[in-house]
């Protein structure tokens, strides 16, 4: 005899989905010959983004690279304008702190590859970070990011 639920399948599925916690942001970091390649996935939150950026900077310092290709096309979420501001301010400050503390010899260049809505078409976060001295650009395709970083094909 098969088990039969007294509740409709749709109701069970919806409840199960509603109780799932958001997937935390995770990074995959690979040291290439001339840069650090980072893959990021999960759901965006400001706290997670800041935490993982510090991990990223630690990897850049450990591998002694001056170029970072950040592939965030697997990130999901829709950051608010204020979150974009706080993240950009935090990463610019963090890079400057690492450089001033001698943890990196030269402030690295960062190329972020994102898709909307993670990628702001106005590039507000990029502008905030650049205005605070960070060498960063945001792109919607990997090839353009690689070209800006002057990476070997």
The mean per-residue pLDDT over the stretch 56-77 comes to: 95
Residue holding tokens 């950040």? 70
Residue holding tokens 């109780």? 19
> Rounded to whole angstroms, how far apart are CA atoms 44 and 46?
7
Residue 94 scores a pLDDT above 80: yes
The band of 22, judged by pLDDT with boundaries at 50, 70 and 90, is low
Residue holding tokens 């990463």? 91
Pairing of strands 67-76, 135-139: unpaired
Give residue 87's pLDDT: 98
Residue 13 scores a pLDDT above 50: no
> Rounded to whole angstroms, how far apart are CA atoms 19 and 11?
13
Give residue 93's pLDDT: 95
For the chain, the domains span 22-149
User: Strand (E) positions, 93-149?
Assistant: 109-113, 135-139
Q: Give the class (CATH, top level) of 22-149.
A: alpha beta
Full-model pTM: 0.83
Give residue 83's pLDDT: 97
């Amino acid at each position: 005899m098969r088990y039969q639920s007294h509740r409709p399948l749709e109701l069970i599925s919806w409840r199960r989905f509603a109780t799932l916690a958001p997937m935390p942001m995770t990074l995959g970091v690979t040291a290439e010959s001339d840069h650090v390649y980072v893959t990021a996935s999960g759901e965006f939150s400001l706290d997670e983004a800041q935490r993982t950026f510090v991990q990223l900077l630690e990897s850049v310092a450990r591998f002694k690279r001056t170029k970072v290709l950040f592939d965030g096309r697997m990130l999901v979420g829709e950051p608010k304008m204020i979150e974009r501001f706080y993240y950009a301010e935090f990463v610019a400050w963090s890079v400057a702190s690492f450089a001033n503390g001698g943890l990196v010899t030269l402030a690295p260049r960062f190329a972020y590859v994102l898709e909307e809505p993670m990628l702001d078409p106005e590039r507000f976060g990029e502008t905030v970070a650049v205005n605070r001295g960070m060498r960063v650009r945001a792109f919607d395709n990997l090839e353009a990011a690689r070209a800006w970083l002057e990476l070997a094909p």
